[in-house]
Structure 1
């Protein structure tokens, strides 16, 4: 912008955009930090640019306009410093007094403050803040990126100089926060498995899968293949995360209000029933009829990842609908796994699992919010569920259900508490360089912990491990299919049932169920969503992948399992392409 107020040269190596509000107490407190940070760089290395985001306090607008107007007389930064030094109680008299002390032409300043050029500068700055998701000052952008670190000189200098470690943190943060990243890692893990077994590493791959790993305590213990530890053990953590997500949506999310939840729940039911019925029709009376649960599942990571890649062509209301539908679908898949895909039955172990679950429920009723007891008991529950013959991953969902929920803390109260803690630390420091005390840290940690319910803290701690380690490991160990010389029959009942179930049954079941619900007045479709988008979203839900392979591994073995896995991969790929194409066309700007 031609009117930019800068300290430093425009072609400097580092660009800092500082959003200020002269009446904001936090902004006033960090202004010295900002100025000292800029002054520690040579002039040619950093350019500090002021951006104005005045609030609603008296004098905020006038102060911002005055500094912008002072740029015409070459005294913008001088007035900027003077207004910060005047205190928060700013009015036109105080602003004009400060301008007069600096030798500014007050009459000209007053005229420039009311000019259209000043209006345009403020409008541009507010638009820039809105684009960067900034609601209030202070805020800082370093080379166009919103700075979210600590407001102290050393941290700011590190953000500006970007040493290797800092760049690595930024890159990893960008990757993990990219909605499609989890799906991309799953694709890479699948391709790695397919490549490994088809270039002569099949023997090594099988040895890895069947590597025995034992854990023993006294006379008891488990000695399972590595594949079983992943499929039954680590995947229980994945189901724990899924269970927490489901519970949160039911307690205080899209599934908590039946008026909002009706449509995605009905859509999910249709999206499970129709694929299962298609599979049963194709496999009626055959040996593969027990695999009817395979095409029922939806892989939420791939589905939402593809929708994220489509950007603005997918309306927000459709993303919310599909998210809620996928969560309801996960709940249905968990029930199916628990009831129909266990192995054997041991009543004694099941009874002990029930005892553990009762203890966890007791902790819940006693409002024990610490997560450690639930995790320790969850491990014991997993062991007994595994020994009972039910699928061990059900223990993850049961643990999630046992973790207590609670309403979020009063935000105003916690904000006042943390402000008081920091104020006490500032007064105790009284100009010294000592850091924050241990007791203050403990108080702040307790306050922050209270802002979220216990399950959400646990989900936050486990989600990346689940998305970027557990699921890729599961995909790697379960998709190593030898394609060279494989006699894959597309029309084998098991393969055809899976492909038709996912590719045809999912969009048909979801669209039909939603149409019936809307026609009968059971639910209402958002005006943003067209029927083609419903069909496209239904096709995307045909990307079964993780959950479908999981159910397939529980239902089949041997060469039939390889056939079913390959059918899942084919159907998921076709569903992803079809769904993305339909949503791309349905969401084109000309629509």
Structure 2
């Protein structure tokens, strides 16, 4: 089996002369399905495939390969029967008949297709040769399925990489959209999917920065971060130092991404109820109040007493990196709790800085920020999912918040809260997928040198649960 860093790869490339294909050869997206006509899940997802082809048009190439259900005689006979088609048009007509004619594959379905495909008075020798070719064609697909790591039907491959997500149309569409320009993106995701990657990168960057700052090139290194960058239009200009672009710009993107994850948990995820959402918020309040109390008890009255706001902030980047480095050892619920608490803590710290430490607030810009937030709220109310309105308004919000005297990362949090959350994946589709995984493992329970579900199956079930 071909195995990439992020999962199994398609063993046999798509061949225009060999495979059953719908869509242009130069399509940017290729969706390969290993399926069986007797598989109820393949039959159920058939309508979603048709909808995806309508949605993506010539950008999508769909390929069907046989993987008859193990031990099902009718599934194998159906696969060999459609291979008797002498043209692609007749194959796909027979394919759709077997998939959609009845609720479950029946002998009557096979007889109907046979009447369309097979000659009424076949030559015995030609008939035997046709049967042999059809059987070998199905067996080639089965060998390809085994080599590609197919465990259940249907199994999908998007641009040569196995897709292990939900089978519903929305999830498949999102995965296909994410596959445009997939070579660079997949390489990045392969590294990012490695749990300790973000923590390792952050630790390396921190140690490198400390080393460079305290080395002979320290002054030059510091001067680099003070270099101004920006835009100018005649007399008007907007410039920040490189350090400020990172602290106020990239950190805003970081808070936007993390904020979107937390909002999803608060709306349709593990924190969707008031009881579950109250705990991380209460923890964040406690995490802000206790450091302030300890600081006030230790530091005497004087100039230093005003620094009580410093210890109340959590370094969210390091907190999340630490959680990510622990990977699967940290339960999903705990990861969500700690991330939500860290984000709420940072929001509280930003508000404290704005209320007690800001001396030059620009209320005209803050008024503009409120107007933009109102527009974002209208877009969210209308369930607008297009990226561009939020991108443009988010840029304006960032400028207003920064110019208004608040920390610009607050714009990322506010934007995340205003972007509408898509509805969760279809529960029935997820249950069907989970049942298919469990059933496939049950059929293999008596295999030699097998002591339980495979790691890949457990990981897939864990993804469905999340």
| TM-score, normalised with respect to structure 2 | 0.54
Q: CA deviation at 1:212?
A: 1.9
* Preserved contact between residue 198 and residue 324 of structure 2 (Cα < 8 Å): no
1:268-417 matches, within 5 Å, as 268-300=284-316, 302-310=318-326, 313-365=329-381, 368-405=384-421, 407=423
Structure 2 counterpart of 1:189, from 205, 210, 219: 205
Q: CA deviation at 1:21?
A: 2.9
Cα distance between partner residues in 2 of 1:391 and 1:367: 28
1:172-211 matches, within 5 Å, as 172-211=188-227
Q: 1:23 matched to which residue of 2?
A: 38
1:523-542 matches, within 5 Å, as none
Q: 2:155 matched to which residue of 1?
A: 138
Q: 1:82 matched to which residue of 2?
A: 80
In the alignment, structure 2 segments of 5+ residues that lack a partner are 1-8, 13-32, 50-60, 85-97, 100-104, 115-126, 130-144, 166-180, 430-466
Cα distance between partner residues in 1 of 2:339 and 2:38: 41
Cα distance between partner residues in 2 of 1:184 and 1:204: 26
Q: CA deviation at 1:256?
A: 2.6
Cα distance between partner residues in 2 of 1:135 and 1:260: 36
| SS of residue paired to 2:276 | helix
Cα distance between partner residues in 2 of 1:216 and 1:82: 68
Structure 2 counterpart of 1:224, from 240, 245, 258: 240
Q: 1:420 matched to which residue of 2?
A: none
Cα deviation code 1:119-163 (max 9, x no counterpart): xxxxxx99x99xx897642346999x73679xxxxxxxxxxxxxx
Cα deviation code 1:24-79 (max 9, x no counterpart): 457999998658xxxxxxxxxxxxxx6x7x4xxxxx86338x86xxxxxxxxxxx6
* Preserved contact between residue 233 and residue 393 of structure 1 (Cα < 8 Å): yes
After TM superposition, the structure 1 stretch with the greater mean CA deviation from structure 2, 335-344 or 172-181, is 335-344
* Preserved contact between residue 195 and residue 327 of structure 2 (Cα < 8 Å): no
| SS of residue paired to 1:296 | coil
* Preserved contact between residue 341 and residue 391 of structure 1 (Cα < 8 Å): no
Cα distance between partner residues in 1 of 2:367 and 2:158: 58
Cα distance between partner residues in 1 of 2:282 and 2:62: 54
Q: CA deviation at 1:175?
A: 0.5
Structure 1 counterpart of 2:264, from 248, 262, 266: 248
Q: 2:73 matched to which residue of 1?
A: 63
Cα 1:296–1:61 shift into 2, 3 Å: farther
Cα distance between partner residues in 1 of 2:397 and 2:63: 55
| SS of residue paired to 2:206 | helix
* Preserved contact between residue 22 and residue 84 of structure 1 (Cα < 8 Å): no
Cα 1:368–1:257 shift into 2, 3 Å: same
| SS of residue paired to 2:232 | strand
Give the alignment's Cα RMSD to 1 decimal.
Answer: 4.9
Q: CA deviation at 1:294?
A: 3.6
Cα 1:298–1:230 shift into 2, 3 Å: same
Q: CA deviation at 1:336?
A: 3.2
* Preserved contact between residue 180 and residue 302 of structure 1 (Cα < 8 Å): no
Normalized per residue, which structure has more helix?
1
Cα deviation code 1:346-367 (max 9, x no counterpart): 3333334334444444555565
* Preserved contact between residue 34 and residue 64 of structure 2 (Cα < 8 Å): no
Cα 1:335–1:313 shift into 2, 3 Å: same
Cα 1:338–1:372 shift into 2, 3 Å: farther
Cα distance between partner residues in 2 of 1:343 and 1:350: 14
* Preserved contact between residue 342 and residue 390 of structure 1 (Cα < 8 Å): yes
Q: 2:169 matched to which residue of 1?
A: none
Q: CA deviation at 1:200?
A: 1.4
| TM-score, normalised with respect to structure 1 | 0.44
Cα 1:136–1:263 shift into 2, 3 Å: farther
* Preserved contact between residue 199 and residue 324 of structure 2 (Cα < 8 Å): no
| SS of residue paired to 2:365 | helix
